[in-house]
Amino acid sequence: MSGVPHNPDGQPLTVDQALVNINQTTDPGLRYYAAWWLGKMRVCQPEAVAALLLALKDKTDRSPDGGYPLRRNAARALGKVGHGHDDVIPALLVCLDCDDYYVRETAAQALESLGDAAAIPALVAMVRGGVAAAVQVSGKPHLVQPYNAILETLGTLGSRDLVPVISPFLDHSVPQVNNAAARAMYQITGDAQYAERLVAMLGHDQLQLRRAALMDLGAVGYLAGADAIANTLAENSMKLIALKGVLEHQIGDGSDAVTLSAESRRVMALMDSLL
């Protein structure tokens, strides 16, 4: 059935079929699904990356609000499969100027997972107006830029010289934004006061914010927060993911020579209790 788009509701997709689907334009739904699937299955081969780069420039698949759904999926997938391909970072940097807020957001997240510091200047430029410019777009459920994603990526990729860029957002009125700033500040300075702001959020009234703080603490691997994570009022699944982040950060690199400190055992004992 070569050349024939494959119905995602039928048989499981194969790599070959996904490549056929993403390279056709007759059925936008199949193309959209294939872009997601290639990332999900981490298909890193050059044909897949090339097809995703093409999808990143797509003009045909438009949502009612003028967005580019296919570009969003392609950007997300490239964050998973784009390592080691020279064209991917420049293409994602172009996406940071896209009209579609969600394309910009996904591109910033993809740049974080690809871990290339070359993205820093473009991301800094996006938040240049500081807190004063970080206002809601009228009629939309979001701010003018995807500040959470940008700040998180800067925290992961950047260093201490970004303190003046990031720290003003600690006082932003949107809790998600000042969480992202606290997370980034902790990553670039190692100063526990910023991680403790996230620990404090574990006691927030809103479940969504407690969950977000769990994910942030897991992402930065804040060991002193382990007990607070285990005691948060949220699903065990989320707490386990957060503690996994703490544990893996504690153990360090992914080498096989795992040496277990008393702290690592303590984190695992907490995880055991949540199974």
List residues binding another protein (CB under 8 A).
235-237, 240-241, 244, 247-248, 251, 254, 256, 258, 260, 264-265, 268, 271-272, 275
Q: Cβ 254 to another protein, closest distance in Å?
A: 6
Shorter beta-carbon distance to another protein: residue 193 or 273 = 273
Rounded to 5°, angle at Cα 166 from 165 and 169: 115
Q: Cβ 236 to another protein, closest distance in Å?
A: 7
Yes or no: say if 135 and 144 are a contact pair by the CB < 8 Å rule.
yes
Shorter beta-carbon distance to another protein: residue 126 or 226 = 226
Q: Cβ 237 to another protein, closest distance in Å?
A: 5
Shorter beta-carbon distance to another protein: residue 165 or 247 = 247
Q: Which of 161, 163, 164, 122 shows the shortest CA–CA distance to 145?
A: 122
In DSSP terms, which residues pair with 136 in a beta bridge? 143
Yes or no: say if 92 and 53 are a contact pair by the CB < 8 Å rule.
no
Helices then strands, counting H and E runs in the chain, come out as 16, 0
Yes or no: say if 148 and 172 are a contact pair by the CB < 8 Å rule.
no
What letters, b where the CB count within 10 A reaches 16 and e where it falls short, cover 97-108?
ebebbbbbbbbb
Q: Cβ 110 to another protein, closest distance in Å?
A: 22
Q: Cβ 231 to another protein, closest distance in Å?
A: 14
Shorter beta-carbon distance to another protein: residue 77 or 271 = 271
Shorter beta-carbon distance to another protein: residue 230 or 251 = 251
